[in-house]
Structure 1
Amino acid sequence: MSGVSVVILGSANVDVIIELDRIPGPGETVLTDASDRGRGGKGNNQAIAAARAGAPTVFLGAVGADESGDFLLEAQREAGIDVTHVRRIEDAPSGTAYVMVDSRAENAIVVVAGANGQLLSLTDAEREVLRGADALLMQLEVPMATVLEAAAQTKRAGGYVVLNAAPYAELPDELIANLDLLMVNEHEAALAAGRSGTPEELAATIGERVPDVLITLGAAGSLLQRRGSDPVRINAPKVDAVDTTGAGDTFAGAYVAATVAGLPEQGRLEYAAAAAALAVQRPGAVASIPRADEIQDAVRRYFA
């Protein structure tokens, strides 16, 4: 397949968004009359973020042969994503995420995998797509065996392989060997490093196994550690957050789009940080993801 820039392998979910004053504790019932339905799933979010950020994007994933699947694919098509190879699963519903958002814009999420769990191996057509990718971005909301296979296929063909290790799981040596960049938040970084420490210390430890490490630090910014180079760290723009749901996915998709566009390290981080800063000022996951012209304007405002 020719003309491919970014391939996203991952999950697609319908989000049921529940707004609360506070997220309930164990055994507690909290009442609300504020709820909504949207599109989400880390793979879906990152694919739309990459496409809106300007990268030609192909999505590999699975949705149910149901109205929810139609709902998810409609947004991907609107973003300009190639959905030719998205599987429609007859005997499993589309994935669903229940997202609780409190008055401080913090969230808690429960995901029912549904069709995402049926992505057990790659087809020949999917392998062909991966062989044509400039970059592959994956997460861990689909079966690990497929993540392993996709990383190996892309690496053999010379593509740049990125794993956003969320939700965190132990990373097999076989997967580590095929990664160019591991992207994690600070909590995931501590798990990957097997220790606590500063972001710089965690990145150095992880960097013994992975060529490049990118740690997102929320409101504190992000840190990129490339093997053999000094770390690059930027501060996040100061904004008033409305909803942090999907902000990390927006950062990931925008970062990979900036990478295939050839931006330098600092520029990639600034582009991704500006995209995430715009996203947290809007409600929802997919609905909050900005477009390339908005991101470029925000880079000039936040980092000039």
Structure 2
Amino acid sequence: MTDTPDILCIGSVLWDVIGRAPSHMEKGADVPGRIIRLPGGVALNIAMTLARFGMRPALLSAVGRDPEGNELLAQCRGFGLETLHVYRSEDLPTDRYMAVEGANGLIAAIADAHSLEAAGAKILRPLRSGALGEKDAPYAGPIAIDGNLTERLLEEIAHDPSLAAADLRIAPASPGKAERLLPFLRAGRGTLYVNLEEAGILCQTRFDRAEDAARMLCERGAARALVTDGSNMAADATSEECITADPPRVLVTRVTGAGDTFMAAHIATEARGAARADALTRALAAAAQYVSGETPS
């Protein structure tokens, strides 16, 4: 791997613990299924997908100096990811995410990203120390950012001189953390990747169509907004125009990580010079392939 990565992925790098059942589930359900543990986190999911698309991502995150953290980073390197710049803490444990999925989608999830939040701006040191960039020579490539970072740190990133030349691509970690993306609306920076619910939270309203949501996000200050709505039409808007596309129809077997796959596929496709319409179509196809189970976890 060369010293200069193609893209930086800033945010959560953790262990996913996911229970999946083939049956429809309601609150209090107790059903047979499978429980798996695998590397996850929004930033890591995006990085792994970018690597599958031929890019060379580097991770900026916080991982504990515990056995779980050592195993996690070893697997990351096995995926072709650069882990040299990950902040390793002696007193913070490696983060975890737990989710339960049924045939009717995500039932519940808990993200324990307290170590990432506690590390704060320490994860950005390589961008300020000269390792990847500094104030007088800012990093000028693409950066994928996830909403597991605190709003204070995201506000700092939106205005940081060491990131002034970067192409920021931002996604919330979940609807519950969507409001953390508000600093980028206020700063008028970056490309936002959100679903219809998250767009509604950011705009303090409800939307029936992705197109309307993407347009309003740009009216609220977003430089660019991509909005997905499951199997319904998706949209990509700037202040000048909005394009739309329908995702392929597939049988859904999983949902956790679908948004990350969409975002990574879109970034990788545009990095190869694809036009906006082509990038949107190909990203939707990649996400559909993922939720159908055709793409490995």
Task: Report the CA distance between 1:33 and its aligned residue.
Answer: 5.8
Q: Does 1:191 align with 2:192?
A: no
Q: Does 1:227 align with 2:239?
A: yes
Query: What one-letter code is carried by the residue in structure 1 that aligns with 2:10?
Result: L
In structure 1, distance between residues paired with 2:282 and 2:153: 30
Q: Which has the higher contact order (CA 8 A, sep 6+)?
A: 1
Identity %: 25
Contact between 2:197 and 2:206, CA under 8 Å: does it hold in 1? no
Query: What one-letter code is carried by the residue in structure 2 that aligns with 1:238?
Result: R
Task: Report the CA distance between 1:142 and its aligned residue.
Answer: 2.1
Q: Which residue of the partner structure matches residue 268 of structure 2? A: 257
Task: Report the CA distance between 1:85 and its aligned residue.
Answer: 0.6
Q: Specify the SS of the correspondent of 1:36.
A: strand
Q: Specify the SS of the correspondent of 1:120.
A: helix
Task: Report the CA distance between 1:10 and its aligned residue.
Answer: 0.6
- Residue deviations 1:220-247 (CA, integer Å, cap 9, x gap): 1420012212x11111111122111111
Q: Which residue of the partner structure matches residue 112 of structure 2? A: 112
Task: Report the CA distance between 1:81 and its aligned residue.
Answer: 1.4
Of 166, 175, 187 in structure 2, the residue corresponding to residue 177 of structure 1 is 187
5+ residue gaps, structure 2, are none
5+ residue gaps, structure 1, are 289-304
Query: What one-letter code is carried by the residue in structure 1 that aligns with 2:200?
Result: A
Residues 242/185 of structure 1: CA separation in 2 closer, same or farther (3 Å cut): same
Q: Which residue of the partner structure matches residue 248 of structure 1? A: 259
Contact between 1:97 and 1:109, CA under 8 Å: does it hold in 2? yes
Task: Report the CA distance between 1:156 and its aligned residue.
Answer: 4.8
Q: Which residue of the partner structure matches residue 301 of structure 1? A: none
Task: Report the CA distance between 1:148 and its aligned residue.
Answer: 2.8
**TM-score of the pair, normalised by structure 1:** 0.84
In structure 2, distance between residues paired with 1:174 and 1:38: 31
Task: Report the CA distance between 1:263 and its aligned residue.
Answer: 1.4
Contact between 2:185 and 2:222, CA under 8 Å: does it hold in 1? no
In structure 2, distance between residues paired with 1:70 and 1:33: 29
Q: Which residue of the partner structure matches residue 230 of structure 2? A: 218
Query: What one-letter code is carried by the residue in structure 2 that aligns with 1:204?
Result: R
Could you say what the CA RMSD is over the residues aligned between the two structures, in angstroms? 2.5
Greater shift, 256-265 or 100-109, is seen at 100-109
Query: Following superposition of structure 1 onto structure 2, how do residues 37-116 of structure 1 map, counting pairs within 5 Å?
Result: 37-116=37-116
Query: What one-letter code is carried by the residue in structure 2 that aligns with 1:277?
Result: A
Residues 2/214 of structure 1: CA separation in 2 closer, same or farther (3 Å cut): same
- Residue deviations 1:66-108 (CA, integer Å, cap 9, x gap): 2221232123212211111112222121111111011344442
Residues 174/265 of structure 1: CA separation in 2 closer, same or farther (3 Å cut): closer
Q: Which residue of the partner structure matches residue 206 of structure 1? A: 217
Greater shift, 129-138 or 53-62, is seen at 129-138
Contact between 1:13 and 1:40, CA under 8 Å: does it hold in 2? yes
Residues 31/238 of structure 1: CA separation in 2 closer, same or farther (3 Å cut): closer
In structure 1, distance between residues paired with 2:88 and 2:154: 19
**TM-score of the pair, normalised by structure 2:** 0.85
Residues 142/205 of structure 1: CA separation in 2 closer, same or farther (3 Å cut): same
Greater shift, 99-108 or 55-64, is seen at 99-108
